[in-house]
A and B are shown apart, each in its own frame.
Chain A
Amino acid sequence: MAEASKRRARSTSFRGREYSKASVWLGRLAVFVLLTGLWELLSGRAFNSFWLSKPSLIADRIVQMLGDGDLWYHMSATLQEAVVGLAIGMVGGTLLGIGLAFSGIFERWIYPFMMALYSLPRVSLAPLFIVWFGIGQSSKILMVVAMVIFVAFYNAFEGMRNIDKDLMDMMSTYKAKWTHKLRWVVLPSITVWILTSVRLNIGMALIGSVIAELVGSNRGLGYYITYSSNMLDTTGIFTGLVLIMLIAVALEQLVLLLERLLLRYR
């Protein structure tokens, strides 16, 4: 009876259910096989494979690119821009958020302008950055920074506002210096928020780097996609998209690993 009520309590709590690792991964595999299988089967039968290509063609292309070194040549460029830009944007935005939360009335002056800038469609800045920095990697990195810095700022700022006031008071009663408060309370409190913003920003960073590459470059997955498009090579376009997805998934897994390490106490 106790067993039964325990089971019921578990299944009614929102998202509280535990699933075995095997059932999760098998399910994911099944979804993947089903979708790619449908794509493979329908392409060339239900519609012309020229428009949507085919998983097998994409796989062939990836193998071929691996062989002639094109894969790493383009992937590394995009990866570098995204990661460097993400790092700069995250650090900059987070420091800005922490600083502004501590800045008293200054925060009230600056905040509306931050939000105004945030509402700009920042991808439209790509041409400007290319005018400034040329078609090399710096214009791409700047684009990525512009994409990620706002989410980083906003999350750090909100995280600061959500710090448990009792913990800060507690530190004050022990006569803690601000360096102590920063290390023992502030940074651990906003770690959750920073990790969330890193995860959201992985996608943003890739959008930033690829868009900037689309606008003007001679290297990178964005460049490879425009190049393929000019050649009416849909397989090339899809290959580029698949590779971007792979980068995103790999980076996300890294962040999840970091999360597990840093949030062990939960």
Chain B
Amino acid sequence: MANDNQAKLSIRDLKVEFRAKGRNTVALDGVHLDVKDGEFVSVVGPSGCGKSTLLKVVTGLLQPASGGAFIDGQPIDGVPDRVGMVFQNDALLPWKTVVQNVRLPLAIKGLPDKEQRREAERLLKLVGLEGFASFYPKQLSGGMRKRVALARTFAYDPDIYLMDEPFGPLDAQTRVKIGEEFLRMWESVGKSVLFITHDIEEAIALSDRVIVMSPRPGRIKAEFPIQLARPRPFYDIRFDPVFKELQKEIWAQMSDGASGGVH
């Protein structure tokens, strides 16, 4: 699926520092990462390893101390075009209805009203929420809110999807269901994804490549290409022997990190 000769997103020698109470903490150090066009890359690692920080740099919301990120070879300066972020906590506007939330990126782009409505309705149907257009986020369950957030990002139609533990707050059952739906939706658009998670199974089931990060300061510790055929059954793939083997290896890498980095 991935186009081999061109990196959509490349991160070079990235170093990010936080200054708190007069002390510098290094969150990320020497991170080197490419995401090809149409490639699905997951980053797993223990909490506090700077996974989310990595995304903040790519969205242009955070300035790195050195190194940088490039999209199509262009350095990221400010919020780049065509990058869509899915937040861990949905980031829906509580005072807007479901359909207005989905329309938001289209309204910002300045599309005509009718087109906004048509596209929002199409996407709500795609995520199975066509009857809930006039509901407020508060009236929905966590899984439904997540669907709205996904529909909104799909409405924006970015070239790169950045996802920060998007299924984190969901219960196990909903998580599998939404993951499956998202995988199906993603397979139909085939855009690049940088996916942050701490769930190894989720990472393997979704990705073309899984990256393991070490605890703070976050460094890339290992990389695993996932050679499982697509389209994949999001849940049943877990019983594949290749999957099991990968899961074991990645887990070994991750738990090893607890006793100090590899570098």
Contact = CB atoms under 8 A, between A and B. Distances in A.
Contacts of B81: 175
B60 to A, nearest CB: 8
* Max count, chain B CB within 10 A of own CB: residue among A164, A170, A176, A191: A170
B79 A173 contact: yes
B200 to A, nearest CB: 26
Given A166-B89, A185-B93, A173 B84 contact: yes
A6 interface: no
Contacts of A170: 85, 87, 91
B248 interface: no
B108 to A, nearest CB: 5
Contacts of A164: 91
Interface string A157-178: 0000000101101111111110
B96 A166 contact: no
Contacts, number: 51
Q: B interface, how many residues as a size bin?
A: 20 to 34
A10 interface: no
A264 B93 CA distance: 13
B108 A176 contact: yes
A174 B95 contact: no
B177 interface: no
Contacts of B104: 174, 184
A175 B108 contact: yes
B232 interface: no
Contact of A174 (B61, B96, B108, B136): B108
A166 B91 contact: yes
A28 interface: no
B87 A265 contact: no
A188 B83 CA distance: 26
Main secondary structure of the interface of B (DSSP, over half): loop
Contact of B108 (A167, A180, A191, A266): A180
B184 interface: no
B125 interface: no
Contacts of B108: 171, 174-177, 180
A211 B108 CA distance: 49
B59 interface: yes
Interface string A182-204: 00110010010000000000000
A265 B89 CA distance: 18
B74 to A, nearest CB: 15
Interface string B52-94: 0000000101000000000000000001010111010101011
B160 to A, nearest CB: 11
B244 interface: no
Interface in A127-182: 164, 166-167, 169-177, 180
B83 A167 contact: no
B138 A266 contact: yes
B91 A175 contact: no
Interface in B92-142: 93-96, 104-105, 107-108, 136, 138
Closest 3 CB pairs of A and B: A170-B91, A188-B95, A173-B85
18 contacts: A167-B91, A167-B93, A169-B61, A169-B85, A169-B91, A172-B79, A173-B59, A173-B61, A173-B84, A174-B104, A174-B108, A175-B79, A175-B81, A175-B108, A185-B93, A188-B95, A264-B136, A265-B94
Interface of B: 59, 61, 79, 81, 83-85, 87, 89, 91, 93-96, 104-105, 107-108, 136, 138, 156
Interface of A: 164, 166-167, 169-177, 180, 184-185, 188, 191, 264-266
Given A180-B107, A264-B136, 4 more contacts: A177-B108, A184-B96, A265-B96, A266-B138
